[in-house]
Amino acid sequence: MPVEIDPFHAIAISRLAHQLRAEGRSVIHMEFGQPSTGAPAAAIEAAHHILDEDGMGYWESPGLKARIAAHYGEAYGVSVNPEQVILTCGASPAFVLALSCLFSPGARVALARPGYVAYRNTLKALHLKPVELACGESERFQITADAVERLEPAPDGLIVASPANPTGTIIPPEELRALAAVCERRGIALVSDEIYHGLSYTLPAESMLQHAPGALVVNSFSKYFSMAGWRLGWLIVPESLIDAARARMGNLFLTPPSLAQHAGLIAFDCRDELEGHIHAYARNRELLLKALPEMGLQRIAPPDGAFYIYADVGHLTNDSLSFCEALLRDTGVAVAPGLDFDPVDGNSFIRLSFAVSTDLVEEAIRRIEPWLTARAISGAAAPLVE
């Protein structure tokens, strides 16, 4: 029987946002985790040259694989063979490759709740069983080694994300070590989503490879490199899984876009421009962390990294989807419902992406503040879930 997959509700919010914009409304897009900036200028210039000079085709860039492998030595002190780097069409296919290389149908894979909506749904689509662990304020909305230790029976796998989506929380090095130790002792395969590495505002994010050399690591050019539409990512696999991962990549996806690979290689050396984006995100984060509590949104997950604010709106609604729709229609500010990230408690949360320009963050604050104030005074919360 086909597996039932939950919808990605933020897509519906975005669809409504684009409809309102087409009708002439002013809309601020804070519903998706994608930078509003484009690819680095030098990468775009290189792409123009390639378009003129190269007919392109199915291709896997040896230079890009080598550059990514070198990055792990530079950033984390970890040795990676370029052949361990599987180039993918973004992080989503990398995640599919990782899961299909490691697990057979029916395998149990643990993950944090709240967590990225596609983790749960991709597991289901591959006939794997998500084992969601509730992670609240006391755990800083992150999975812990103690929680994994207590799982009986031990899961077949564990998905770790640091910085995490939707919260932005980072797992400290000592906790990463503890997670790696628990997984090694209990025979649990590790998949680490490191797509938000490079986007840190407090402590730096360590790679799981520093603590678990056999972990599978997912990353992409979509976030730090500001190249979401180029659909380019990678998967790091242990040498024992190189052949399995390459076979799956070739059969399921062929190769990533050739143009994106050329541009991605150049993007790796555009650090000054990319770090400028981080400074803008840091400013946006500061503005929201100051403004939202003044609007009554006091309970916010610690946004150590990424570019999200995950805020509790339970005093205003227990239907986050309707809440987000009303906010969008009334103010033109699009945000994501917590229901996407947590099917149990997510109706009390919303996620705001601050990967937009600072002037748009300031405008969003101006629009949201009176709307939340009026809602709190009137008690006119979104329709309740029965």
What pLDDT does 379 receive?
A: 64
CB of 186 closer than 8 Å to CB of 196: no
CB of 337 closer than 8 Å to CB of 320: yes
CB of 114 closer than 8 Å to CB of 310: yes
CB of 192 closer than 8 Å to CB of 217: yes
Q: Which helix (H) or strand (E) holds 220?
A: strand 216-220
What pLDDT does 3 receive?
A: 83
**Going by DSSP bridges, is the β-strand pair 157-161/129-134 parallel, antiparallel, or unpaired?**
unpaired
The alpha carbon of residue 299 and the mean position of all alpha carbons in its chain are separated, in whole angstroms, by: 21
Q: φ and ψ at 195, to 5 degrees?
A: -65, -25
Percent of residues, the chain, with pLDDT higher than 70: 98
Those residues whose C-beta lies under 8 Å from the C-beta of residue 285, and which sit 6 or more positions away, are: 201, 303, 307, 309, 354
What pLDDT does 384 receive?
A: 39
Q: Binning pLDDT at 50, 70 and 90, where does residue 386 land?
A: very low
What pLDDT does 274 receive?
A: 96
Q: How far apart are CA 104 and CA 27, in angstroms?
A: 44
What is the CATH code of the structural domain delimited by 9-38+272-372? 3.90.1150.10
Terminal Cα-to-Cα distance of the chain (whole angstroms) = 30
Q: Binning pLDDT at 50, 70 and 90, where does residue 370 land?
A: very high
Three-class DSSP category at 231: coil
Positive or negative: CA dihedral 335, 341, 346, 348: negative
Nearest to 159 by CA among 197, 114, 127: 114
375 pLDDT more than 80: yes
Domain ranges of the chain: 9-38+272-372, 56-269
In DSSP terms, 131 is beta-bridged to 110
Q: Binning pLDDT at 50, 70 and 90, where does residue 55 land?
A: confident
What pLDDT does 376 receive?
A: 83
What is the CATH code of the structural domain delimited by 56-269? 3.40.640.10
pLDDT tens string 300-334: 999 999 999 999 999 999 999 999 999 999 999 99
